[in-house]
Amino acid sequence: MRGSLQAYKRVSVDSQLTSASPHRVISMLMAGAIERLIQGKAAMEQGSIAVKGERLGKALDIVISLRSCLSMEDGADIASNLDALYDYMIQQIYKANQDNLAEPIDDVIEMLREIKSAWDQIPAEYHNMTQLDV
């Protein structure tokens, strides 16, 4: 049953991505990173080392992907600042996983929530830009 639910979720996400604007894709990535971090922290607190590593690894992959989407030429100071923040988040996720610490995870979740909140406030007329200039 659980496998069927996971397959359904994958199909749902895949169909959302197919029709999503670049803006929506970034928003979905941020939400996914936050979700994986929360799951990783819960696994850490439960002593489930394998699940913790898998979830934090997925969150790390998402943050790395977000960082790779930055357009340093078009984004100017905003892209540069986000690059530094994403770099810090990557370091914090590594630290949390390696040292089994919840605090760095909480810090990254808070930063991602703030960035996502600002991202979600971008006016709709900019949501369908052809490049992912973040």
Q: What is the pLDDT of residues 72-130, one digit of tens each?
A: 887 788 899 999 999 999 999 999 999 999 999 999 999 999 999 999 998 877 677 65
What pLDDT is stored for residue 64 in this prediction?
97
Q: Please name the helix (run of DSSP H) or strand (run of DSSP E) that holds residue 18, with its range, or none.
A: helix 2-19
Q: How far apart are CA 12 and CA 72, in angstroms?
A: 32
Give the separation between CA 33 and CA 1, rounded to whole angstroms.
Answer: 25
Q: Where do we find the tokens 């850490």?
A: 44
What is the DSSP secondary structure assignment for residue 122, as one 8-state letter? S
Position 59 pLDDT exceeds 80: yes
DSSP string, 76-132: HHHHHHHHHHHHHHHHHHHHHHHHT-SHHHHHHHHHHHHHHHHHHTS-GGGTT-SS-
pTM: 0.81
CA 12 to CA 9: how far, in whole Å? 5
